[in-house]
Amino acid sequence: MYRPKGSRNRATIMAKALCDSDAVDIVRAITAKAKRGEMVAARLVLDRLWPAPKGCTVTFPALAATDASGVVQAQAALLRCVAAGELTPDEAQAVSSMLSTQLRAIETADIDRRLAELEMRIIKK
């Protein structure tokens, strides 16, 4: 049997009730354990106060990636930066993924333009 869209399951409802009634006591208990040196409690507290960074700013020589050739040149620039140790492979992969998305957008726009031109030729005949 399916729940209605947007409805919450029993575990979610129970967790919400627990949080509403005992949240302050739970936080105090975990904080007290962390102060006593219990590492699991300390990790819980620290992970909430100072979460791990999700990413960092990446800089590399920018090239105009406004056409397929520009995207190819930008990908080559990324490889050079990795080879020179200026970017990590993970950083380059993230930027490369964005360049791939840019290439798909360029290709889609090009197909749309060419299709419009063909339609205009057919209409003129």
pLDDT tens track for 69-118 = 999 999 999 999 999 998 899 989 999 999 999 999 999 999 999 999 99
pTM, full prediction: 0.54
Going from the C-alpha of 14 to that of each of 5, 24, 34, 86, the distances in angstroms are 19, 16, 26, 50
User: What's the pLDDT tens digit per position in 63-76?
Assistant: 788 899 999 999 99
Per-residue pLDDT band for 21 (boundaries 50, 70, 90) equals low
pLDDT in tens, 26-52: 778 888 998 999 898 888 888 888 777
